[in-house]
Amino acid sequence: MDHPRLAVENPATGRPITTVPDDGPADVDKAVRTAVGAWPAWRVSDRHAALMSCAVVVEEAAPVLAPVLTEEQGKPLREAKAEFAEAAARFRYFAGARAGPHLVGNGPVAAITPWSFPVRLAAAELAPSFAAGDTVVLTPSPHTPLTTLHLGRMLAEVLPPGVLTVLTGRDPLGERLAAAPGLRRPAPEPGGNDPAIVLPGTDPALIAESLFWSAFTNCGQLCTAVERVYAVGSAYEGVVEALAALAAKVVVGDGRTPGTQIGPVNNRPRHARVTGLTEEARSDGARIVTGGPLDGPGYFFAPAIVADAYDRMRVVAEAQFGPVLPVVRCSTVDEALGLANATTPGSRASVWGKDEEHAMAVAARLEYGTVWVNEHQAS
């Protein structure tokens, strides 16, 4: 009986690229048994060389696999290449780590990675796991399995047998992997609905570009993206106008085309959700200053600036994870803080203002794990 296959789509065309294995319960069981069996033999003395070899593999694979990543994920080619560079750096960093009180293995690891940054986030799971002596069963998103599958096969060649297994398949595959017997320490990494507060007296020209790309990098498909802006008093109109001006001139297109700044939304369901939230906001009285869904083929969506938004709109209350940015008018800083803290919070926020000392004081009142001043998602 032939192994089932899963079609992989190019979001710039909406058409299939190729297929990958659609792994099932028997494949999960086999992968887990392999990881469990390989764990005791994964020696400390082998790990440094293995991690350095992984870094070399990632670097050498980049010219071939970065275009594949762009084709299946949609991001501009330069950003796909950057993912490979970041992944290689991650392996090199952990090659310098040593097992000890601060780096202790857990045993076989089940790693389920999203479609937003397939290579970067795979390396973020693999490198520390390998350094600690863990074996890994890696499952990429069904929307972006191709690059991870190819790269995983290359990495497996420089690792001891059974240390890395890559499974591909539909969404229930990750659920089956997470439900494997003996799972002890789940470590989910949720996204968020990150707010940005712009204080009165802020010069929009000085912050607009940084704020814009904090929201729209990777087509807004970033767990640390700004998802909502609260502009206080006199800052409101200028912020809306400056963001809209940037959105209107940004180049949206196929990530393989030189000059493209923002690629398509990664998949049909996400495109439908972003479109739905935008149209619902319009129906509820918001003003779509610029942006919205573009004609196909593909899942293109011009960055949308949503003015006259308010906190009960779903486009504000829920993370869009896409190229939409609502801007809420607030009369006072206290109002902005109340709305930012009340709406389903994420783990990050930012405050933007001319007076850095005042901005720091406002930042201290935000109930988030990380708060930046005059920047967001700083690396």
Q: Which domain holds residue 306?
A: 194-373
Does residue 206 belong to any structural domain of this protein? yes
311 CB burial (10 A radius; 0-12, 13-18, 19+): middle
Number of domains in the chain: 2
Choosing from 189, 209, 237, 367, the catalytic residue is: 189
Pairing status of strand 324-330 against strand 164-166:
unpaired
Instruction: Based on the residue annotation, tell me whether 189 is a catalytic residue of this protein.
Output: yes
- Do 50 and 85 lie in a common domain? yes
> How does DSSP classify residue 22?
-
What would the mean pLDDT of 44-62 be, rounded to a whole number? 96
| Cα–Cα distance, 342 to 371 (Å, whole number) | 16
> How does DSSP classify residue 290?
E
Preceding peptide of 297 cis, ω within 30°:
yes
Of 121, 150, 178, which residue constitutes the final position of a domain?
178
pLDDT, position 206: 96
307 in Cβ contact with 240 (< 8 Å): yes
What would the pLDDT profile of 325-375 be if each residue is shown by its tens digit?
999 999 999 999 999 999 765 689 999 999 999 999 999 999 998 999 999
Does residue 187 belong to any structural domain of this protein? no
Instruction: Based on the residue annotation, tell me whether 219 is a catalytic residue of this protein.
Output: no
% of the chain residues with pLDDT over 90: 86
**Closest listed residue to residue 163, CA positions, set 99, 107, 93, 95:** 107
Choosing from 79, 125, 219, 223, the catalytic residue is: 223
CATH number at residue 228: 3.40.309.10
| Cα–Cα distance, 16 to 160 (Å, whole number) | 34
pLDDT, position 97: 75
Is the pLDDT confidence value at 376 over 60?
A: yes
Q: pLDDT class for 192, splitting at 50, 70, 90?
A: confident
- Do 119 and 245 lie in a common domain? no
Q: Where are the alpha helices (DSSP H) in 250-317?
A: 268-283, 314-317
pLDDT, position 64: 98
